[in-house]
Amino acid sequence: MVTHSEIDKVLRILVQTQGTSTMLGRMGKKYAPFKVLISTIMSARAKDEVTEVLAGRLFERYPDAKALARAKQKDVIRIIRSIGFYNAKSKNVINASKMLLERFNGKVPDTLEQLIELPGVGRKVANCVLVYSFGKDAIPVDTHVHRISNRLGWVRTKTPEKTEEALTKLVPKKHWQVVNDTLVAHGKTICTPGTPKCSQCPVFEFCGRKGVKKWK
């Protein structure tokens, strides 16, 4: 059974070696909650590099909820067409903007319960907004966080939702806000999906390598 002390060591090492270089880590420092929300809706199953560029172009034309709520879907698609699932995402960002105006006076809510009412917002997106926009304690779980948490042996879960539930019980709350940023960065550089670079891993000694059949 993994201990709080071991989790503390792993996260401290990863924060030092990986830093906070993810798209949302950067956005949370310079963008308003609305832009973090819309970018996170767009980011599902897309590369950060693509999302960040296209979101920037979208905000040049539609800088706030009022402007985006009035947008025509075809115009939004022209801007974000090179991202995956652009039809659904264009509809969601427009409808989410409309709901912000209708239900929340144009402001992004700061509770999980209210955020998941917005179109295109599930628990992962909502938790990202809570962490990166409002500095609240939450653990956003995407494919990287889900994969690495299982590889380390911290959890034995089948879905990101179950991983989030397990991690909130396991990880000391003081670390919640860094879990996503550090594990996503680690998952992109070292603990990759196919063949992880275990020989370069700074937390190799703490990893159970669960499910890893081949590594380098």
As a dihedral over the C-alpha atoms of residue 120, residue 121, residue 123, residue 128, rounded to 10 degrees, the angle is 120
Using one digit for the tens of pLDDT, what is the confidence trace for 98-107? 999 999 999 9
Using one digit for the tens of pLDDT, what is the confidence trace for 153-200? 999 999 999 999 999 999 999 999 999 999 999 999 999 998 999 999
* Helical pair 176-189 and 123-134, crossing angle rounded to 10 deg: 110
| CATH code assigned to 31-134 | 1.10.340.30
Quote the pTM value. 0.90
Looking at residue 142, its pLDDT comes to 92
Q: Is 186 exposed, middle or buried (0-12, 13-18, 19+ CB in 10 A)?
A: buried
* pLDDT at residue 97 greater than cutoff 90: yes
* pLDDT at residue 148 greater than cutoff 90: yes
Closest CA to 39 of 188, 85, 48: 48
Positions of CATH 1.10.1670.10 in the chain: 4-20+139-206
Looking at residue 23, its pLDDT comes to 66
Instruction: Report the percentage of the chain scoring pLDDT > 90.
Output: 80
* pLDDT at residue 21 greater than cutoff 70: no
Mean pLDDT of the chain: 92
Q: Give φ, ψ of 117 to 5 degrees.
A: -75, -20
Between the CA of residue 205 and those of 13, 171, 185, what are the distances in Å? 12, 19, 19
CATH architecture of 4-20+139-206: Orthogonal Bundle (1.10)
Positions of CATH 1.10.340.30 in the chain: 31-134
